[in-house]
Amino acid sequence: MGLSEYDGAWFIDGWQLGETPKKLTLADCEQLEKNCWYHCQRDAAGLPEWLSAVGVPSSIASVLLADDTRPRFEQLEDDIFLLILRGINLNEGTNPDDMLSIRFLYFRGSLISTRKYPSRAIAEARHQYEAGKGPANLFALLITIIDKLNRNIEIFLDPIEEKIEYDAEHQDEADSQSLADLNKRLLKIRRFLTPQRYALDDLIQSEMYELEAWRIPLLNCRDLVIRINESINFYIEQIQVVNLHLSQIQSEKVNRNTYLISLISIIFLPISFLTGLLGVNIGGMPGVDSAAAFWAFCIALGAITLFEIILLRRMKFL
């Protein structure tokens, strides 16, 4: 099948790498060329047909086009491997923790990448080539993109530590719901970054001869993912500590208020009893015919209240 026979909307752009990178057109995609990068729109019509036309097996193509995948590395042949990674979603109007899926297929000297939504890491690499710069070979390009994906995650996480520290220092003002939402976002990110570390581990341990010269840069990328995972785990534990302290503060407030209400009830219990007793409308109530009885009764109530307060203070309830 020729390219003219199906829609080319799947093709975002491509580059032939080297000292002077050359931008590829749709017409250059009739077959895969070595040291060329083909960046594709994963959900666009025509991509499955193109992958089949250039010799990519349907079992591999189905992984590149799957709706939901986790980070993984799989070496299929000596010169074929599949790498799936996740990155922070920095597109406008989206949640960063709804992480982007970037899929790479190294296929006999060519690199095919697919995406559903734009990735800033990929965009930066494309801008480098448009400026006549950028990595001169596919493995250097792959490592550059992996590093940018990790750096963007690290930049996104930097303000989180400041927010947690601020809430820890101003615990009376801390919004527990805000911390709960932040905790959920961190858990979503950790869900993908943990297997991403193992995917890079598998890539580093693969037996591809071409990767030998890139072990140290890949180790640096893997170490950055480990550090990011450790930071996320630390933030989650820190949020739990802050939330626990906030719960203790709230419990203390409730207990203090309950205690205060109980003391007020104790003080007014005998007064309420006496006023209720004297409010009974039956004959024989003392002081009914005396004009001074009301004031004497008020003084007696005040004396009882003062006595109770002194008694409670001596018993260290106040």
- The full DSSP string for 163-192 is HHHHHHHTTTT--HHHHHHHHHHHHHHHHH
Give pLDDT tens digits for 27-41: 999 999 999 999 999
Give pLDDT tens digits for 1-27: 455 445 678 999 999 998 889 999 999
CA dist., res. 42 & res. 292, Å (int): 95
Is pLDDT at 70 greater than 60 in this prediction?
yes
- Beta strand 80-87 with 100-107 is antiparallel
- Taking each helix axis as running N to C, give the angle between helix 215-278 and helix 176-205, from 0 to 180 degrees, rounded to the nearest 10: 160
Rounded to two decimals, the pTM is 0.77
Q: What is the pLDDT of residue 283?
A: 58
The tokens of 318 are what?
Answer: 């106040």
Give pLDDT tens digits for 90-125: 887 777 778 889 999 999 999 999 999 999 999 999
The predicted model gives 139-145 an average pLDDT of: 95
CB proximity list for 216: less than 8 A, separation 6 or greater: none
Instruction: Give 173's pLDDT tier (boundaries 50, 70, 90).
Output: low
CA dist., res. 95 & res. 88, Å (int): 9
Instruction: Give 55's pLDDT tier (boundaries 50, 70, 90).
Output: very high
SS3 state of residue 193: helix
Dihedral (CA of 26, 27, 33, 35) sign: negative
Per-chain mean pLDDT for the chain: 85
CA dist., res. 96 & res. 82, Å (int): 25
